[in-house]
Amino acid sequence: MPTRAHRAAPRRHAWRPRAGTAAAALLAAVLIAAAPTAGATPKAGATPAAGTPLIALSNQRTLTRWAYPSSEATIRSSPAASSRAIGRLRFLTSDEQAQLYVALAATTPSSGVAWVRVEVPGRPNGQTGWVPRAALGSFHVVRDLLLVDRTRLLATVYRNGRAIFSAPVGVGKASTATPAGVFYVTEKLVTVGAPVYGPYAIGTSAYAPTLSEWPGGGVVGIHGTSEPQLIPGRPSHGCIRMRNADITRLWHLIGAGTPIQVI
Amino acid sequence: MDEQTEASGFLTHVRAYRGGSGSGRSRRRAPRASFARRLALAFGLIFVLAAFAPAVAPASASGESSTSAESRAATALEEREARIAQHKREAEEIRAQRKAERLERIAQARREREQRSGTRATEFGHVEISCTAVTWYFEKFPEGTHTVTEIVAIDGTLFGPVKFTFTGTSGSNTTPIGEDGEEPKGGHRIDARAKWGSATGSARTGWDISSTRVCGRTPDAAFTIEKRQQIAGTGGFVPTPLVGAVGQTVVYEIVVSNIGTVPIAFSNFSDPRCDPGTITGGPGGPVAPGTFTKFFCRHLLTAADQAVGSYTNTATITGTPQVLGDETPSTQPSNTVVVTVPTPKKEETPPGNKEPPTNKEPPTGKEPPKQSPPSEEKGANGVLASSASQGPKLEVLASATSAPALSGRPEGCVRSSFVVSVKAKNVKSVTFYLDGHRLKTLTAHSARRGRLSVRIQTARLKVGVHRLTARITMIPNAASVKAVTVVRSLKFARCASAAVSPKFTG
């Protein structure tokens, strides 16, 4: 005669938004679907003082603001002139194009001076810092996201959260892997005299972790190729290679400041 | 009788019937009279050929050719059999491949179905995963007391194990997950597993019931709400803090965008800082995917706001997907915007005799002291730039103080040329220097539209950063008999052509 089962004490588990085991497609969907008001996750050493309101300027998914520097101001670890300097704004990239900075958040401490937290291109990847608002020009807005999936070897452009372009890619080999993280388009180049880069190239704020001695500092680019048979694959030194037809379309599709999510 | 003799006799017989070389009359009658004969002759010929055919064939083939024909026939038969076997093998392979594909499709569909529903049945029960709880149903167990180990993993992080004991042949247990039973935003993968050993000794090993489900919001029904603000009549909407004064009106713009793939109906828009009766805009119906709707409202800054110093404001709205079966409403807050209403300070600044106030950042090398412009917004490319207390628009500085400033700094870098100017009011002359080299001196007589302007040609400049300096001599005023000279400078970058050989890692 079966008896009624007794119920064990309910145990409540806390949600922990980790995505390590989620499938890549799921992660992409989550990235797109997440609310933009969440803003970028503040990194260590880059938080304003307690009680100071922090305004998210970009979520780097559906809304990203960027600006050109108007001076070579010091980038600081927190929104205070007395905080530690971690670098300076630059006018030019390593390819001597206009350098731009993605604005992540803004705050106005009690001093009354508005500060903007920006992504700092360079090694190590993912560094952010604070600059006075006056050190940046006017803000520009992009609503695109370029998602590069190193597992599926696929690049997808999302506009307002919807996929509008997808193409296979070649990424870095194991010894010179393409770094993961959130970066952005710093420059768009028409390549001349370098058929290995294809007809067009896109500069990113990502730096190859190992190739620090590379000319230009080891900037990770997105470019065409003279060896399309290697795509999709893992043939590169860290750059993201695309077939020439695909890089041509991508080059015309996305603009400067477009965030790049490499997973 | 051999074949040749027989044929010769036949031909002779034919000539005899034609009448040889007879008269024309007999020739004219011949066709009509000999038609039956000719018909008989044709049948005879056919008969003869049919009679001789079996004899001709063997006579034309030797013994060797007969063996070769048999060999060829055997070879052809073997080849035919081989082809048939090959076709059979190929057909079987194709059938097996199609079967495997069909099974894979079925398995994939089952996995997707299980993943969607979070339910998976086995012979010992099933598990149901909702996004708020995991429920196991243990069935068809033998009589006795059973202890089951249940483990839940959320995004790969294990929780548990939970020991569940029941007596009899069936039992059920529910484990809540999530905070307050609410489904979280974002996607989460939930794995649920249960295994057991029986007190009766029929222990089983391994995980007997397991299933997986992905919970959380999907891109199918997603929207964003973004709030921006402006001081009425001063510029564009910005999400950044504003500085206002009592009596000014703050205008709010709330943009609600449907970034999903299904229409969404929005309701319950609320904004605590909107003055009553000022909310306008909004959709007339469901908002289509990829489109947006805007709300507007206003708030008059009052002494109460000034007393507080600053206030924050967040709008919220509820969106309901217009999809059958998935009409779960979702409420989202906007970003928070800040308005500061400082207490006005009295300051007396002799016109033209005082450098503009500097901000608290220390001077950086050769750069002139930075100035603190008043609140000013600037739009660019239809996009709103913002600055609560500082702005890049240097013309504002000139109006804030009588010391004019350079305006026209190029955005980004410049390849050919750009124009900088100085407001000519109270200016006697301006001398421009580029990297320390004197370019040009303009006097107030050269002013056009109240400005002293110069075009900077950069085509011949080196790629890199350059400094442009303007020494501005002011007209002496009543407070000073001596002309005051003000130095203003800006940096700009001359960039290379965009057609380059990149330095990427490749």
**Could you read off the pLDDT of B60-113 as tens digits, one per residue?**
444 556 678 888 888 898 999 999 998 998 899 899 988 888 888 888 777 776
Pick A19's closest partner by Cβ from B155, B338, B500: B155
How far B88 CA lies from chain A's nearest CA (Å)?
36
| Highest mean pLDDT of the ranges B87-101, B135-149, B301-315, B377-391 | B87-101
pLDDT at A120: 92
Query: Which of chain A's residues have a Cβ under 8 Å away from the Cβ of B361?
Result: 73-74, 81, 113, 132
Mean pLDDT of chain B: 69
- Whether pLDDT at B306 is above 60: yes
Please give the Cα distance from B311 to B304 (Å, whole number): 10
- Residue B154 corresponds to which amino acid? I
Judged on CB neighbours under 10 Å (0-12, 13-18, 19+), B318 is middle
Domain with CATH 2.30.30.40 in chain A: 36-141
How far B173 CA lies from chain A's nearest CA (Å)?
6
According to DSSP, the β-strands at B413-414 and B485-494 are parallel
Query: Which of chain A's residues have a Cβ under 8 Å away from the Cβ of B337?
Result: 55
- Residue B149 corresponds to which amino acid? T
Q: What angle do CA B269, B270, B276 make, to 5 degrees?
A: 115
How far B92 CA lies from chain A's nearest CA (Å)?
33
Task: Tell if the CB–CB gap between A18 and B156 is shorter than 8 Å.
Answer: yes
Please give the Cα distance from B203 to B484 (Å, whole number): 98
Question: Which helix (DSSP H) or strand (DSSP E) does residue A262 occupy?
Answer: strand A259-262
Please give the Cα distance from B180 to B183 (Å, whole number): 9
pLDDT at B355: 34
Please give the Cα distance from B429 to B229 (Å, whole number): 41
Measured between CA atoms, the residue of chain B closest to residue A189 is: B498
Measured between CA atoms, the residue of chain B closest to residue A3 is: B168
- What CATH class has A143-262? mainly beta
Domain with CATH 2.40.440.10 in chain A: 143-262
Query: Which of chain B's residues have a Cβ under 8 Å away from the Cβ of A141?
Result: 383
pLDDT at A65: 92
Give one DSSP letter per residue of A20-51, joined into a string. SSS-HHHHHHHHHHS-GGG-PPPPTT--PPTT
pLDDT in tens, B403-443: 677 788 888 888 888 888 888 778 888 888 888 888 888 88
Question: Which residue has better confidence, B115 or B355?
Answer: B115
Judged on CB neighbours under 10 Å (0-12, 13-18, 19+), A100 is buried
pLDDT at B25: 43
Token digits of residue B404: 């004019």
- What CATH class has B118-215? mainly beta
How far B475 CA lies from chain A's nearest CA (Å)?
29
How far A113 CA lies from chain B's nearest CA (Å)?
6
Q: Identify whether A69 is preceded by a cis peptide bond (ω within 30 of 0).
A: no
Angle, helices B3-18 vs B35-60, to 10°: value is 170
pLDDT in tens, B443-499: 888 888 888 888 888 888 888 888 888 888 887 765 555 667 778 888 888 888 877
Angle, helices B24-33 vs B35-60, to 10°: value is 70
Query: Which of chain B's residues have a Cβ under 8 Å away from the Cβ of A201?
Result: 502, 504
CA distances, B218 to each of A29, A35, B50 (Å) = 7, 11, 87
Q: What are phi and psi of B254, to 5 degrees?
A: -115, 115
pLDDT at A40: 36
Task: Give the dihedral sign, CA A244/A246/A252/A257.
Answer: negative
- Average confidence (pLDDT) per 10 residues, chain A, 263 residues: 37 39 41 36 48 80 90 91 91 89 88 86 89 89 92 91 91 88 92 85 88 72 89 88 92 92 92
What residues of chain A, 244 to 263, have a C-beta less than 8 Å from chain B? Answer: none
Full-model pTM: 0.46
Q: Is residue B11 classed as helix, strand or coil in its secondary structure?
A: helix
pLDDT at A27: 40
Query: Which of chain A's residues have a Cβ under 8 Å away from the Cβ of B500?
Result: 95-96, 189-192
Task: Tell if the CB–CB gap between B491 and A11 is shorter than 8 Å.
Answer: no
CATH annotation of B223-340: 2.60.40.740
CB–CB of B138/B172 below 8 Å?
Answer: yes
Query: Which of chain A's residues have a Cβ under 8 Å away from the Cβ of B171?
Result: 5
Token digits of residue B405: 């400033």
Task: Tell if the CB–CB gap between B219 and A12 is shorter than 8 Å.
Answer: no
Domain with CATH 2.60.40.10 in chain B: 391-494
Query: Which of chain A's residues have a Cβ under 8 Å away from the Cβ of B312?
Result: 53
Span B365-377, mean pLDDT? 32
Is A210 touching B (CB cutoff 8 A)? no
Task: Tell if the CB–CB gap between A190 and B498 is shorter than 8 Å.
Answer: yes
Query: Which of chain A's residues have a Cβ under 8 Å away from the Cβ of B188?
Result: 15, 17, 22
Tell me the pLDDT band of B116, cut-offs 50, 70 and 90: low
Task: Tell if the CB–CB gap between B364 and A100 is shorter than 8 Å.
Answer: no
What residues of chain A, 99 to 118, have a C-beta less than 8 Å from chain B? Answer: 100, 106, 108, 111-114
Please give the Cα distance from B391 to B406 (Å, whole number): 14
Please give the Cα distance from A149 to A167 (Å, whole number): 11
Measured between CA atoms, the residue of chain B closest to residue A216 is: B503
pLDDT in tens, B188-214: 667 777 776 644 444 444 455 666 666
Tell me the pLDDT band of B342, cut-offs 50, 70 and 90: confident
pLDDT at B325: 59
Measured between CA atoms, the residue of chain B closest to residue A142 is: B383
Q: What angle do CA B339, B342, B344 make, to 5 degrees?
A: 145
pLDDT in tens, B214-232: 665 444 677 778 888 888 7
Query: Which of chain A's residues have a Cβ under 8 Å away from the Cβ of B229?
Result: none
pLDDT at A1: 36
Interface test with B, best of A72, A97, A240 (most B CBs within 10 A): A97
Task: Tell if the CB–CB gap between A95 and B173 is shorter than 8 Å.
Answer: no
Domain with CATH 2.60.40.740 in chain B: 223-340
Task: Tell if the CB–CB gap between B360 and A113 is shorter than 8 Å.
Answer: yes
How far B302 CA lies from chain A's nearest CA (Å)?
21
CATH annotation of A36-141: 2.30.30.40
Pick B500's closest partner by Cβ from A19, A32, A189: A189
- Whether pLDDT at B338 is above 50: yes
- Whether pLDDT at B377 is above 50: no
Task: Tell if the CB–CB gap between A15 and B218 is shorter than 8 Å.
Answer: no
pLDDT at A155: 93
Measured between CA atoms, the residue of chain B closest to residue A25 is: B187
CA distances, A17 to each of A21, A22, A30, A70 (Å) = 11, 10, 11, 38
Pick A15's closest partner by Cβ from B174, B188, B463: B188
Give one DSSP letter per residue of B439-462, joined into a string. EEEEEGGG-BTTEEEEEEE-TTSP
Spatial CA neighbour of B190 closest among A145, A40, A21, A247: A21
pLDDT at B351: 34
- Assign domain B391-494 one CATH number from 2.60.40.10, 3.40.50.10710, 3.40.718.10, 3.10.580.10: 2.60.40.10
Task: Tell if the CB–CB gap between B504 and A73 is shorter than 8 Å.
Answer: no
Q: Identify whether B241 is preceded by a cis peptide bond (ω within 30 of 0).
A: no
Tell me the pLDDT band of B401, cut-offs 50, 70 and 90: very low
How far A237 CA lies from chain B's nearest CA (Å)?
6
Q: How many beta carbons lie within 10 A of that of residue B388, not counting itself?
A: 25
